[in-house]
Structure 1
Amino acid sequence: MKRKTMVRGLAFVCMFLMTAGAAFAAGKIAYVDLSSTFDKYEKTKVFDDELGRIQKEKEKDLTQLADDIKAIEDKMPLLSEKEKASKQKELDEKNAKLKQESQQVALDLRKERDDRLKEILQDIEKVIQSYAQKNQYDFILNDRVLLYGTASADVTQDIIDLLNNQYKQDSKKQSSKKR
């Protein structure tokens, strides 16, 4: 009796797995190269340029502070002991300020980069979801998890084109609102 029940259970599991496997195999599947999509998205390029500009501005301020420190250090040997003590205190304060501001700049830039990265990844995710629904895909996978995929299942360029077209439209809307 136990053996018949076990055989029926095993048969049921096999049938379930075959049915699920057939359903999965019948699904429409594609994949996207996310790193390429990220790199070729115009918004990524714009954000990189903006972050580079912000970083240069912040570094200019830090460089000015570092130059001030260097000027004080260069004058130190020429000063009397009393003046050296006074300048050393100023030098220590400026060094502490430089260290603090450098850390704050790095923290601010990292946060800004992370926020922009999150925004870009959300854009990519929305476009992929919309593309999948419109084209009736059951699954769109990240190419990094694939062991094999045919070139015909690669929808990366479609996603990049959609992202860039959407970005251009959004940019036009924003620039017309600014006028």
Structure 2
Amino acid sequence: MADREPLVDSPLAEKDYTQTVVIAMDGSEFSDYALQFYADCLHRPENNVWLVHVTEYKIISQPALAIMSGSTDMSLITKEIEAEEKKTTELFDHLKQKISFLKLNAHIESVHGDVGPSIITFASEKNADFVVVGCRGKGKIRRTFTGSVADYITHHSHVPVVIARNSDHLEKLHIHSPFKLKKQ
């Protein structure tokens, strides 16, 4: 077989491989695993990485909850906003430590609204090349009644979605994981 010369004029030779990646973070172990999976298996130093957290004010976005709780008192709304803002601040501190540990150059941002649609909108605004989400591993019946952010994003995203299913879930389901993650 003859040696081939590299294709210097190939469009791939000059292509910018910088990708914009959006990673959905909710503070759970599943989203932490998604970030770890991205860092171990998908990250390239030139990537533009965005960690996005959606702050969801349930009592405001779902007024029926306020009526059911028997109160439409403004102090209840104020308490929910303060509690959500505190959780968001704590999550940001955790994420800053995590990206420092993983040696990732990433932006952290919080948006407000329904989780699935907000992540889709954020990814679209950032012109994301793909989205990474964790998966809680809910069964089909439970997902049918409660919904799933990962399912929503998968079905509504205009870019590829990587669902990082925790290896513990794979072991419980007796499925072999093709990715061997580095032990920390």
Report the TM-score, using the length of structure 2 for normalisation. Answer: 0.28
Structure number with higher relative contact order (C-alpha < 8 Å, ≥ 6 residues apart): 1
- The structure that is strand-richer by fraction is 2
Bigger CA radius of gyration: 1
